[in-house]
Amino acid sequence: MIKVDLSPDTITYSGNRFIKNKRHNYSAQFKAKVALAADKGDKTIAELASEFDIHPNQITQWKKQLLQLRLALSGSGNGLVQPLCS
């Protein structure tokens, strides 16, 4: 089943055609929730993408940012990722 949202706030008229607005702004809380769910590993990236209705590449990018943040916060610099809470 394909979902199509034709509400006026998601469609823009440009010249002689209608285009769908593509950019989304996600809150930091939403990004963290998705990244932590991906990091947990209970579900695949594809399952999470379907659940949260976002592209799998976006989840992978946010997960990578989470891992980089963990590394920076640990301050170890040895490449080993430490848990955020000890």
E-assigned strand segments in the chain: 11-14, 17-20
Of 63 and 13, the structure prediction assigns the larger pLDDT to: 63
Instruction: Identify which has the larger pLDDT, 70 or 16.
Output: 70
Per-residue DSSP letter, 79: S
Taking 60 as the threshold, does the pLDDT of residue 13 lie above it?
Answer: no
Helix (H) or strand (E) holding 9: none
Q: What is the pLDDT of residues 49-70, one digit of tens each?
A: 999 999 999 999 999 999 999 8
Position 39, amino acid = D
- 21 CB contacts (<8 Å, ≥6 apart)? 10, 11, 12
Domain boundaries of the chain, sorted by first residue: 25-86
Query: Is the CB of residue 42 less than 8 Å from the CB of residue 48?
Result: no
